[in-house]
Amino acid sequence: MFLSEEGLLTEYAAPAKAAPRAPVLDLPLPKDFVLGAATAAYQIEGGAFQDGKGPSIWDEFSHLEPSRTSNENGDVACDHYNRVAEDVELMKSYGLQAYRFSICWSRLIPLGGRNDPINEKGIAFYNNLIDRLLAQNIQPVATLYHWDLPLELQKRYGGMLNTPQFQADFVNYARLCFSRFGDRVKQWITFNEPYIISTYGFHSGILAPGHSTSMGNDSRTEPFRAGHSIILSHAAAVKAYASEFQLHQTGSISIVLNGDYYEPYDILSEADRAAAQRRMEFYIGWFGDPVYLGTDYPACMRKRLGSRLPEFTAADLSLLSETAPINSFYGMNHYTSQYARARTGDPEEDDMTGNVEELPYDIDGVEIGPLSGVSWLRVTDVQFRKLLNWIWVRYQRPIYITENGCPCPGENDMTVKEAVNDDFRIRYFGLYLDAISRAIYEDGVKVQGYYAWSLMDNFEWSAGYGIRFGITHVDFKTLIRTPKRSAFYLRDTMKQRKSKAAHAPSMNVPA
C-alpha cells in the first residue's frame, strides 16, 4: 500500500452531498473462497542490519535528509524478523488460510546481482516463516518484489532503467526463490503494483528511488522505461518458472496490479465517459494488456504518449505471447475509486493520466463514498464490483484480491482501547465482501480469495507510521501487538458467508 501524491499534497473541499450509506448484508461466499492477510518485507520486518542483509533502495530513501518519509524509517518497523513465531500465532487465531508476504531481495542476495554471493541466513529466515505457516495450515503466498530493490543494483547500473541488466538479475533472484522455497510455496507473485513503482518512484519521486524532474531526472520517460523493465522481467521470470520448476512444484504464478475504478464526472458527457475508460487503460491496461493478453500497450497510450512509450521488439512480443497464458490468476490490489473528468487543454509534458482530472465527487457535488482516515481513500464498494467486472471481461482470469483495506478516521490519534474497536474498518470489509459476493453470484465473475491489508499496522512508506491499516494494532514503542475487532470479524463473517452458500444449493459459482 502507498500514500498517494494527492494524499500528501491535496485536501479536497467537502462535497455538497454525501453518498447514501448501504447496509452490510454478509452475503454468501463459496466454500473454497480463501481468507488471507498481506504484508510487505520493508514495512514489517525490521532487522535492517541483521544476519548479513544488504541495504535496499528503501533503506537509503528512508534515511535521506531532509526526510521524505515523515522523519521515520523501517530499520525496526514491527520487528517481524525477530517475532515470526508470535505473528504466525496471531494469524492462526484470526482463522487465516493464506498469508501474503514479500521476500526481501537484499536479504537473500545482499548485493543483488547474478554473480553476487547468497546469504544463507536470509534463506533460513524465510524457510522458518514458510514452515511455521504450513504447520498452522496457512498457505504461504510469496511476492518476489515489493519495492525494495537492492541498493547496489540501483547504484551499479540504474536499476530498472537498465532493462537487460535488471531483467537478468531479477530472473536469477527469482530462480533462487523458486529453487529454495517452491516445494512449499504454491502461489507466486512477481511484482507488486508496477504502476506505483513506476509513477511514484520515477515521476513524482515520493517513493524510492525518488526520481523526478525536479530532482534532475526525466519524468517524461523514466516511468515508462521502468514499467517496460518490470513487464519484461516478469515475463522472463514466468518463463523460467514454467520451464524449470512448475511441473514438479505444481504452483501458480502471476503479478499484482493495483487500480481504481473511474466513473465519469458527468455521465452525460461523452468526453468524460471516454476519459474514465482511458484512465483505467493508462492505469491498469498499461501492465495488464502485455502481461495477460500478450499484446502491445493499449492503443490510447500509444496514441497519446508517442515516443515517451518504449517499443517492444519482436522477441519481446514473442515472450509476452508465450507467457501470457501461464499467468493463471489476476492479483488485484484495490482500495478506492474516483470520478474522471476530461481535461480540455493540452496535457502537461509529463502527463501520466491520459489528460484526465481525478475527483472524489461528481458534477452534482455528490461524493463517491465516505472518507476514511486518509484523504485519498473513500469507501467505494459499488465501484469495486464494477472494477471486478471490468477486469474479468478484459482478462478472463480468476481474481484474488491481494490487498484491500482502510484506516479508520482519526485512528492514529486513538488510544489502543479506542483503536481496536475499528467499526469503520469492519463496515468497509463487510461492504467489499458483499460486493465480491454480488460479482460472483450475480455477474459471473470468478473471485477466489481475499487478502486483507494489512495483517498489522506498519511503516506506510512516505507516511511513516502515521497511517494504520492493520487488523492488528502495533505499539511502535513497545512493539506489542493487540488484535482489533476487524480481525475476528473477518474470521467470523467468512464462516457465516460460506455457511450461507453451502445451504443455498441454487447458488452457482462460475466455473
- Residues catalogued as catalytic: 193, 403
Q: How many helices (H) and strands (E) does the chain have?
A: 19, 13
Beta strands 187-192 and 139-145: pairing type? parallel
Dist CA 333 CA 230 (whole Å): 17
Q: Which of 393, 397, 394, 423 is nearest to 408 (CA)?
A: 423
Residue 344 grid coordinates: 480540455
User: Cα angle at 350 between 346 and 351, to 5 degrees?
Assistant: 55
Dist CA 470 CA 412 (whole Å): 11
Beta strands 330-333 and 472-474: pairing type? unpaired
Burial bucket for residue 135 (CB in 10 Å: 0-12, 13-18, 19+): exposed
Dist CA 119 CA 320 (whole Å): 32
Lookup result for grid cell 452475503: 27
DSSP string for 271-323? HHHHHHHHHHIIIIIHHHIIIII---S-HHHHHHHGGGSPPPPHHHHHHHHHH
Name residues whose C-beta falls within 8 Å of residue 29's C-beta, 6 or more positions apart in sequence.
433, 436, 437, 440, 494, 497, 498, 501
Dist CA 324 CA 279 (whole Å): 23
Confirm if 349 and 203 have CB atoms less than 8 A apart.
no
Give Cα 157 distance to the centre of its chain.
26
Residue 59 grid coordinates: 533503506
Within 10 angstroms of residue 195's Cβ, the number of other Cβ atoms is 21
Q: Which of 328, 190, 167 is nearest to 255 (CA)?
A: 190
Dist CA 99 CA 38 (whole Å): 6
Q: Quick one: CA dihedral 89, 95, 98, 104, positive or negative?
A: negative
Residue 331 phi, psi dihedral angles, 5° rounding: -90, 120
Dist CA 103 CA 433 (whole Å): 28
Name residues whose C-beta falls within 8 Å of residue 265's C-beta, 6 or more positions apart in sequence.
272, 275, 339, 340, 341, 357, 359, 362, 363
